[in-house]
Amino acid sequence: MNPVEVYKFGGASVKDAAAIRNVGDILRNPSPRPLAVVISAMGKTTNALEEIIRAHYHQPELLPELVGKLKSYHEEVATSLLADQADALMTDLHDLWVELNWILEEDPHPTYNYHYDQIIVFGELASTKIVSAYLTNQGIAHQWLDARNFIKTDAEYREARILWDLTQAAVDHEVRKALDQHGMIITQGFIGSTVYNESTTLGREGSDYTAAILAYTLDAESVTIWKDVPGIMTGDPKRFEFAQRMDDISYQEAIEMTYYGAKVIHPKTIKPLQNKGIPLFVRPFDHPDQYGTKIGAGTITDLPPIIVVEPNQVLFRISTKDFSFVAEENLKEIFTRIADLRIKVNSMRNTAISFMVCITNDPAKVSQLVTALQDKYDIILHEHIELITVRHADEQTLSMLKAGKEILFEEIYGKTHQFIIKNA
């Protein structure tokens, strides 16, 4: 068998019938075989399901309308793709909604994260059913697989960790066999299951990671993530008009970019690929002939400045009530609170009088952290700030970014410049 290739299509690339037809065009031969294809939920479906979960706990009277909207969105796409040949697909979709409604008719599970995962998976299940039915209709051979049969995880719901040995064995058994027989498989990103077959998820935007897990366990030749951008850019083109696409970047550069908050690929995606030297391509689904960006081994010198902006941050300035230094014991305690609340620290700094941590301004988490610390510490919060990281900075880029802004703190290490600006 030739080496496997892995493709991943995100929500935007399957958001409506036209988008799914385009996916069909990309997957039609002569695209590579064997090919493992990972697909996200359609468009903003995951957000819509999050709303359904919220309503289930707090406003169940909204459920019929919310579920109804989701149903008709999927059914319209299905009908538009398959017209009078949509019967079998409609039955599959109907079965999914029945199953979803069973869950929603019961009281919500007391454990939010568990409950979330049991519901959120319907987005991926529905989208892959639709894409699969369309491909069958187009005569494109493949097999639909339920990713929960081979992406095996622990029970850390909403952020499940992969059980690699079990996953490897299940991929060898299920996915290899299907690829041998059909040349192509279609499966869901983002979702997995525990050893007890309870649904789990890998974290928002986790389908990139699914593609990497499949590539790793299948010893794939490469992974291609098809996106609505020309490739990996040196900044957000909506904000920086000079942003340009990069042809090639190293695994290390990609890891740094995602670590500092670049939303190009899910942060966990790179490591498994790097471990096996599997290259990752990010390519535009609306121009499938274009090269995009290749992430691979080696070092690439003379990269242009790369700008990563984390908007909507809040800076905690934490000091002791008795004016003593914030010392190791305090840091240990502060970090225990932060870790317990599952807050991600985006940047931090210790000074003589205070310890500063920059986190994303999620109001619930911010107030929980304030509550956890305020008995022992004085806390000053700075809001309306952005954390800006520039890799391979030059003077021109830095002064352009800082012009007219108040800089709350700045740090330089190696090739990385980082600063926090206050927006008026």
CA separation for the pair 13, 284 (Å, rounded): 10
CA separation for the pair 392, 417 (Å, rounded): 8
Stretch binding Mg ion (CB under 5 A), from 11-19, 76-84, 146-154, 174-182: 11-19
**Paired tokens of 182:** 């059909």
CA separation for the pair 105, 71 (Å, rounded): 17
189 scored as a contact of Mg ion (CB under 5 A): no
Single residue of 205, 253, 256, 310 touching ligand ASP by CB under 6 A? 205
206 scored as a contact of ligand ASP (CB under 6 A): yes
Angle at 276 between CA 270 and CA 281, to 5 degrees: 50
Q: Report the residue number whose CB is nearest to Mg ion.
A: 11
Single residue of 33, 182, 204, 405 touching ligand ASP by CB under 6 A? 204
313 scored as a contact of Mg ion (CB under 5 A): no
11 scored as a contact of ligand ASP (CB under 6 A): yes
Identity of the residue, 266 or 317, whose beta carbon is nearer to Mg ion in the bound complex: 266
Identity of the residue, 40 or 250, whose beta carbon is nearer to ligand ASP in the bound complex: 40
Identity of the residue, 53 or 348, whose beta carbon is nearer to Mg ion in the bound complex: 53
* Residue 178 host element (H or E): helix 176-182
222 scored as a contact of ligand ASP (CB under 6 A): no
Q: How many Cα atoms occupy the beta-carbon half-sphere of 108 within 13 Å? A: 19
Burial (0-12, 13-18, 19+ Cβ within 10 Å), 385? buried
Stretch binding ligand ASP (CB under 6 A), from 40-48, 228-236, 330-338, 347-355: 40-48
Judged by beta carbon distances under 5 to 8 A according to partner kind, the member of ligand ASP, Mg ion, none in contact with residue 123 is ligand ASP
Residue whose structure tokens are 């309870």:
198
Single residue of 5, 7, 9, 10 touching ligand ASP by CB under 6 A? 10
Q: How far is the CB of 97 from ligand ASP (least distance, A)?
A: 18
CA separation for the pair 394, 380 (Å, rounded): 33
CA separation for the pair 148, 192 (Å, rounded): 4
CA separation for the pair 77, 118 (Å, rounded): 24
Residues 228 to 267 in contact with ligand ASP, rule: CB under 6 A: none
Q: How far is the CB of 138 from ligand ASP (least distance, A)?
A: 24
Residues 174 to 193 in contact with ligand ASP, rule: CB under 6 A: 189-190
122: CB partners within 8 A, 6+ apart: 49, 96, 99, 100
Identity of the residue, 47 or 371, whose beta carbon is nearer to ligand ASP in the bound complex: 47
Residues 43 to 72 in contact with ligand ASP, rule: CB under 6 A: 46
| φ, ψ (nearest 5 deg) of residue 170 | -70, -40
CA separation for the pair 55, 78 (Å, rounded): 26
CA separation for the pair 187, 404 (Å, rounded): 49
Q: How far is the CB of 178 from Mg ion (least distance, A)?
A: 24
Stretch binding ligand ASP (CB under 6 A), from 70-78, 199-207, 299-307, 379-387: 199-207
The answer to whether the peptide bond before residue 30 is cis (omega within 30 degrees of 0) is yes
Q: How far is the CB of 93 from Mg ion (least distance, A)?
A: 19
Identity of the residue, 266 or 417, whose beta carbon is nearer to ligand ASP in the bound complex: 266
Single residue of 14, 32, 39, 40 touching Mg ion by CB under 5 A? 40
Judged by beta carbon distances under 5 to 8 A according to partner kind, the member of Mg ion, ligand ASP, none in contact with residue 305 is none
DSSP-assigned letters across all residues of 278-305 = --EEEEETT-TTS--EEEESS---SPPP
Give 153's strand partners.
162
11 scored as a contact of Mg ion (CB under 5 A): yes
123 scored as a contact of ligand ASP (CB under 6 A): yes
Number of residues binding to Mg ion, judged by CB under 5 A: 3
Binding mask 375-414 for ligand ASP (x = CB under 6 A): ----------------------------------------
Please say whether the dihedral angle defined by the alpha carbons of residues 140, 131, 274 and 419, taken in this order, is positive or negative. Answer: positive
**What residue ranges bind Mg ion (CB under 5 A)?**
10-11, 40
**What residue ranges bind ligand ASP (CB under 6 A)?**
10-11, 40-41, 46, 123, 189-190, 204-207
